[in-house]
């Protein structure tokens, strides 16, 4: 049975479109051009930061984040950036009696922002806060510890087969891939996606799938 569910943040519960647009503006390039290069980088399986280096070869993400903060344009998100189906999905899963968590590659300051959104979750973890990032095994071992210690009873939900589903399966967890955002639409790894317990297009689908799975497993 599934007793705990953890969600990736960016691209899964959080729509990063506004932030991608902000980066295009910061770099001084047309938004559609930034999006096109971003998609090409993902399709080639490269680190997303190569998108920025295509426009500025000496680009350093940490330094640029600091410059943006000083300029009064920090990397931020809020209620308006949540996917419309996120809040209801989390609430529904909690009502099923499941342990629900968020765990993604995010800066430590994202924890406070996520907590302020008052989502129906039991735990919020970030790569900066935990000191380990996806897709490393250590990140998913921390997810397992937070979720009660039994990997087989945990479902990890994410938009990326490379950073989310693949390593979560390797750590012994069940997985769900959601098809949205740049990675969800562009990056396909059949050897990973075909082994996922669920493949969905909306978080609206997940609560009933989990309920049916648990009913059949019980």
User: Per-residue DSSP letters for 131-147?
Assistant: T--TTSHHHHHHHHHHT
CA 127/CA 79 separation, integer angstroms: 21
DSSP for residue 125: E
Q: Residue 109 — very low, low, confident or very high, per pLDDT cuts 50/70/90? A: confident
The pLDDT of residue 157:
98
- What the block records as the tokens of 86 is 């996120």
Mean pLDDT score across all residues of the chain: 94
Residue 209 in 3-state DSSP? helix
102 in Cβ contact with 121 (< 8 Å) = yes
Q: Residue 45 — very low, low, confident or very high, per pLDDT cuts 50/70/90? A: confident
Q: Does residue 218 have a pLDDT over 80? A: no
The pLDDT of residue 41:
92
- With tokens 């949205």, the residue in question is 180
Domains plus CATH for the chain?
4-15+80-217 (3.40.50.1000), 17-70 (no CATH)
- Burial pattern 110-138, b for ≥16 Cβ within 10 A else e, equals bbebbeebebebeebbbbebbebebbeee
18 in Cβ contact with 114 (< 8 Å) = no
Query: Considering Cα of 201, then 12, then 56, then 27, what sign does the dihedral take?
Result: positive
User: In this predicted model, what pLDDT tens digit does every residue of 147-174 receive, in sequence order?
Assistant: 999 999 999 999 999 999 999 999 999 9
| 133 Cβ neighbours under 8 A, 6+ residues apart | 105, 127, 139
Q: Residue 73 — very low, low, confident or very high, per pLDDT cuts 50/70/90? A: confident
The pLDDT of residue 133:
93
Q: What's the pTM value of the predicted model, to 2 decimals?
A: 0.93
CA 89/CA 105 separation, integer angstroms: 21
CA 110/CA 129 separation, integer angstroms: 9
């Amino acid at each position: 049975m599934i007793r705990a569910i953890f969600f990736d943040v960016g691209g899964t519960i959080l729509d990063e479109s506004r932030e991608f647009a902000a980066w295009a503006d910061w770099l001084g390039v047309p938004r559609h051009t930034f999006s096109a290069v971003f998609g090409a980088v993902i399709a080639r399986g490269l680190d997303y930061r190569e998108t920025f280096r295509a426009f500025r070869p000496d680009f350093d993400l940490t330094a640029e984040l600091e410059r943006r903060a000083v300029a009064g344009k920090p990397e931020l998100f809020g209620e308006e950036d949540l996917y419309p189906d996120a809040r209801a999905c989390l609430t529904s899963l909690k009502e099923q009696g499941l342990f629900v968590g968020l765990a993604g590659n995010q800066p430590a300051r994202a924890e406070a922002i996520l907590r302020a959104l008052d989502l129906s979750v039991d735990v919020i973890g970030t790569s900066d806060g935990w000191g380990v990032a996806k897709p490393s095994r250590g990140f998913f071992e921390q997810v397992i510890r937070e979720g009660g210690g039994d990997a087989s009873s945990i479902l990890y939900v994410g938009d990326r087969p490379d950073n989310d589903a693949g390593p979560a399966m390797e750590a012994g967890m069940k997985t769900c891939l959601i098809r949205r955002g740049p990675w969800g639409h562009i990056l396909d790894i059949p050897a990973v996606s075909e082994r996922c317990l669920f493949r969905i297009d909306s978080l609206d689908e997940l609560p009933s799938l989990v309920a049916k799975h648990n009913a059949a497993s019980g």
